[in-house]
Amino acid sequence: MLQNNPLLAQLKQQIRETTPRAEGVIKATDKGFGFLETDDGQSYFVPPPAMKQVLHGDRVQAVIHENGDKTSVEPDTLLEAGLSRFIARVQKREGRLAVVPDHPSINNVLKARIKNSLDEASIGDADWVVARLVRHPLKPEDRAFFTQIDELVAKADDPAVPWRVTLARHALEQECPEAGSDWPLRDEGLEREDLTAEPFFTIDGEKTRDMDDALRIEPRDEGGWRLTVAIADPTAYVEEGHAADLEARTRAFTVYLPGQNVTMLPEQLADDLCSLREGEERPVLACTLNVEADGSLGDYRFFAARVRSQAKLVYDRISDWLEGQGEWTPAEEIASQLQALRELTEARSAWRTEYALVFKDRPDYVFDLDPAGNVLDVRIEQRRIANRMIEESMIAANACCAHFLAEHIGHGIFNVHRAFDPDKAQAAHEFLTAQQIEVELEALSELPRYKELKRALESRDDAWLDARLRRFQGFTSMSARPGPHFGLGLNAYATWTSPIRKYGDMVNHRLIKRVLKGEQAPAEATQALTEQLTERRKLNRMAERDVKDWLYVRYLTPAAKEQQAFEAEIFGITRGGMRVRLTANGATAFVPAPMIHSDRDKVVIDDKEGRIQVEGEERYKLGDTIRVALVEAREETRSLVARPAE
C-alpha cells in the first residue's frame, strides 16, 4: 500500500526535481556498456548494470551520477521505446521461448510468448518472426522485457529468407495482389484513336514483362521531331474505388527486388492485359509532342488511343546497333525511328544541360541469381544511348503532364524536389561560403539561381565538394500542387508514364481523362495520400537496399576470407571510420578506425568536414578512390568490413 502513499509520491517527485537529469537516446555497444546521446550533442556513459534495463534506441530520462572526474547516468524513465514491432529470430532452449531482435546493435535475448492464433509447434529454433515488445522494465509495473510473437515470416532453412525477412521488416506485402474477377475493358466515354497500324515499338530490359511505354517518332518538315508516347492504361480496366484500385493505392508502387517483383496491380493486369506486348492491341493514354531542333518542347496533345507494338526491343541490342557493334539489325521502319530518336535525345540532352539540369550517369548493378536465390554474378550495366533515349522521352512526356495538369486542373500528383532541406539551407550556405563560393542564401531556394550555382559547382569536378553537399540535400516528395523539381531543373514535374507500377501515375491518368471528357475534376489529392506515396517509395528503396546488402554479404564471403582487394569510393565518414562503395560490384563496406591505423590515437577523424588524418597528415577524404581489402562478411548484420589495402 506504500506505493499509493501520496506523501511518498510527493517525496519522490521532490527528489526527481532536485536531482541532475539528462534526456536522450540510448546507444548500445558490443562491450555491454552504452551511451546516452542528448539532443544537444552531449554523451553520457551508461554502465553495464544500467544497460540491462534499456535497449538500443530507447529514448529515456536518466539520473546523472558524479563520481570524482567520472560522470555516468542511470536511466529511470522510458519516454519512447526503441523497439515496438520488430523482426527477430526464435530461440528455444529447454522448453523456454525467447527471441533475439534482428538488429545490428541489439543482441539481447528477450523472453517471448506466441500469439494465441499461432501454432507454437510450427515455430522452431532460429525461425524468423515478427515480434512486438509488450513489457519494458522502465515502464510502471513492468519488471523485465517481454515480447509476443505475432507472425511467422520464414523457416530457418527457407532459401527466400532475405526477401521474406526484408519485406516483413518494412511491413511490405509478400505477394502480388489477387487477380480477382475477369477484367473487361470499361466504357469510359472516351473516343480512342486507332493507331494500331502505326509502327510503335517498346524498349526495355530483356526480361521485362510489365511494359508500360511505346514510342513513335517522325521528323518534322520544319525541323525537329514529332514524338508520340503511348502509355499503358490500367484505369481502362480498374475503376476508381474497385478492390484492385484500393489495394494499388495501399501498395502505391511495385516493389522491385533482385530476383523478385511484388506488383502493385494483379499480375494479370501488370504483365498481360496492360503490358504493351509486341503484336497485341492495347488501350493507351497517349501524348504527341513536338520537339524543336534545339531540343526545346513545343506544342503537345493528350488523347486516348489503341496501339499495337510492332517490336519489343532491348536496350543493349539497340545501343550495340547504334554504336556499330553486334549482328542484330532492326526492321527498316523501326531503324529509321531509332536514328531519329537518337538525334532527338542528343538535342534534348543538350537543351537540358543548358537550360535545366542533367543527372550524372551512374552505372546500375544487376544481380544474376540461380533458382535458389544464390548470387552467380553482379554485372555492371552502364547508362548507354538506348537507356538515355527512353529517359529523355519520358522526362519530356512528364514535363508535358505537369504543364497540362497545372494549366487545366491546378492539382495532381507532382514530384517536388528542393535542392536543400529547408532546415539545412543555412548550414549549406555557410559551408559554401567557407569554400569561397559566393552565393546568396536566397539562391539556394530559387530555381533559376540554383541552376546557375549547380552548373558552376559541376564545372569544378570536385568529388569531395559534391559528397559534402549531399549532407544538406533535400528529398523528393509527392505533392498535390505543382512545385519545382530542383534535381531536374524544371518548374514542375508530374509522372504519368508508369501507371502499371506507380499509383500516383494512375491518379494523373484519371485527371487527364477528366479533362479530355470535359468533366469536372475531383478535389485535389489529400495530404494523407501524398505523404503515403512518399513514405511507400522510401520503404521500397530501403527494402531494395536491404536485400542487396544481404546478397552482397553472401556473394562476397569468399572474397572476405581471401582478403581480396577492390577499388572503392569513399562516400561516408563517421566518428568510427569510413564507408566505401566497391566500384566493381556496388557493394558497400565499413572501414573501422582501428583498421586505418593500429594506433587509434594517431587517427583523427573529422566527420563534419569528411576528412581523416593519419599521423598528422590528411590521408582520406570524401569522394576519394582508394583500394580496400575485404576482411569480414557478417551475415547476421548484413555488413562488410574492410581495411585500406595500401
**Residues taking part in catalysis:** 204, 210, 212-213, 315, 501
Which residue in 257, 345, 347 sits closest to 296, CA to CA? 347
Cβ within 8 Å of residue 582, ≥6 positions away: 566, 567, 568, 588, 589, 628
Main-chain dihedrals φ then ψ at residue 236, nearest 5 degrees: -75, -20
Which residue spans within 21-145 are E strands per DSSP? 21-28, 34-38, 43-46, 59-67, 70-80, 85-93, 96-101, 110-114, 128-135
DSSP string, 311-334: -EEEHHHHHHHHTT-SS----HHH
Closest-CA residue to 419 (of 471, 494, 467, 487): 487
Which residues are within 8 A (CB) of 239 and not within 5 positions of it... i.e. 6 or more apart? 186, 245
Question: Alpha helix locations (H) across 562-623?
Answer: 593-596
- Which region, left, alpha or beta, applies to residue 474 given φ > 0 means left and ψ of -120 to 50 means alpha? beta
In the DSSP assignment, the letter for residue 181 is S
Output Rg (C-alpha) for the chain, integer angstroms.
28
Helix axes 332-355, 385-408, angle to 10 degrees: 70
Q: How far apart are CA 55 and CA 107, in angstroms?
A: 9
- Report CA-CA distances (Å) from 406 to 203, 248, 299, 393: 29, 25, 15, 20
